Structure 1
Amino acid sequence: NTMASLPAFSPALLEAFVDSTQTLPLEIQRVLATVRDLDEKAQRLDAVIEQKTNELVATPPAKPNSPQAKEIAEARAELEKMHLDLVQLSTEKGQLAQRCLDLVDENALRLDAELQRHDHEVAEYRKRAGIPAEVPPPQPAPVVETKAPARGGGGVPTGKRSRGAEHAAAGGHAAAEQPRPSKRARAAPADVAEVGHHVAAHVRDPRDHSVQWILARIQRIHQMPDGGTSLEVVDDEALQAGDEHSTYLVKRDAAVSLPRSNEVKAGYPNHQPGSLVLAVYPGTTVFYRATVVAAARKTKGGAYGEYQLEFDDDTEEGSTEIPKRTVPFRHVVAAPSFMQHANYR
């Protein structure tokens, strides 16, 4: 009984949390309430499983084909079904938790947009009234150029461990050579940048000038004098680790927006087998080029699950076989055009 070995969860804790979220939008409240109901069902089912498991363990062995042997077989079948039901409840809770995260993101983005509009109005008012700004504007970080940049490689910002570093430690090859040819990826949807959006950002580490694609969040959007747009993005992992180099200023075409939702109805493309994509390598926050082996499967809840991918040059020491790795739907985008060529380096 796997669940029985876990620490007991107090329903009162979740109850108190849900009660403290009454000011949240109604749809988020409903999702949290449903999660609470599913959790209570799971707790009750887990208690029944533990009881029946103890009863079955205490049952003495029975002779084959005897009535008692038949009862034991039926009890085992019932336990297996209960375990499947428990797994289903856990899956549904996970899907609802993702939906709740999507809703929170949407509301946070709307709030960020309102705050940004408010800041702009205040700045315009100060300008018209001749009132100087209270705080001098921050000094921008170096802008990253994006003309066919060198592939991955180089140093990694503090707080990250790149896939290349992992393979080097294992005696393998860093992900920087001999990509495998594949079919062209499907076109991505309109790439709209908004404050709060997560992106794959092509950044340069100011310490060693290495360049790589990282998971980042748009913090501000700047209009450049030449009419272009630049994005101020933050590496949340580096920020939490206390790294002073956690914010970058990149040109608009140096950032690819990630799917904001894994729901099918959101309309994001489900990249098909053979497509070349840019994806977060498991266990890191760094993007590398990969080929889709299996598209993300649709779940019963109307959401996309995980892709199966083969990352370029991702071979173990002493093996020529490329492992298939699973990556969440929201961490995969079509590879930029300059990465679509078979001889890309």
Structure 2
Amino acid sequence: MANSIHVMTYLEKYVELSSSLPVELQRVVVTIKDLDERLSALKKETDAKVEKCLAMPSASSRQASAGDMDAINATRREIERAHADINQLSTEKVRLAGIAMEMIQFNIAKLDKELAPFSEEMKRLEGAGFEDEFGVEGMEGMDAVTMAFAMGEGGGFDDGAPGVPAQLHRAPSHKKSHKKKIPVNAPPQPGERVAANIGEVTAGEGAQEWIVAVVVQYIAEERAYEVMDADEDDPEGGGHVYHLPEHLVIPMPRSASARDGQVNLSRGTTVLAVYPATTTFYRAVVVQQAQKINGEFGEFLLEFEDDGDADGLPQRPVPFMHVVRHPSGL
């Protein structure tokens, strides 16, 4: 309860500071807008006076009378005063712009200061194994069937059924509650993507054809998975469901974050990787480890087997989450 109170305090301060910023800026912006309107009108008046002055007889002209000279001098003085006013208003606009910039920088510093303890609180909660109570990870791009399994609807599991791993029970209802993070080495969950070898089903025992698939359900008594082809562009319609023993299913990384326990693969490691612009895995070798930036792994540099020509094997970048260690013995 105390932690919740602290978090709300951080949020309230942050929202209070955020909401006050637009009001202060609005006052400055409105003033600048008013100056713009005055400048525009003043410039038009000045241009008209300049045109009028140019149309008058020249001071050196013999046709210029004393009255003309007085009018020319008066108009020139008006133009000079207008130029001075324009310069003054322009200087004021620059000054107000500087005030607005200082105001923004000051408020950003205050916002950052108030946000820091809230961020530390969230990191502490994440370190304890809690996620955002409203977050739903890995739901992008799922079809209706996969979404239903991921949300725990019609998953085909009986909660507490004997022989079913605890991690594979029906997903809890999506309500306001903190969810434990799934361990990095946990078995694939319904709705998660995996590397699935459908070769033994489509071509016979020992065949290798690894595709990106989505887990539909785990059948504990058979130690097998039902997985669905993730290739939505399959000419045969896609979405085909395969029944595979668990040794033909490899979980894909759940994230690319080192904080989640993900481990980089060293140079020379044999892997299965999704070939660029496809949903099919091919055997490859790591040429360069995935670069880690701000705790997130980026892309591996890989050489795929049978991908070369007379000039050798090209090196291709592949995202961290599209690479799995090659199963031993294959």
Q: TM-score range by the shorter chain?
A: 0.3 to 0.5
TM-score (norm 2): 0.44
TM-score (norm 1): 0.43
Q: Which protein shows a greater Rg?
A: 2
Q: Report 1 or 2 for greater relative contact order, CA contacts < 8 Å, sequence distance ≥ 6.
A: 1
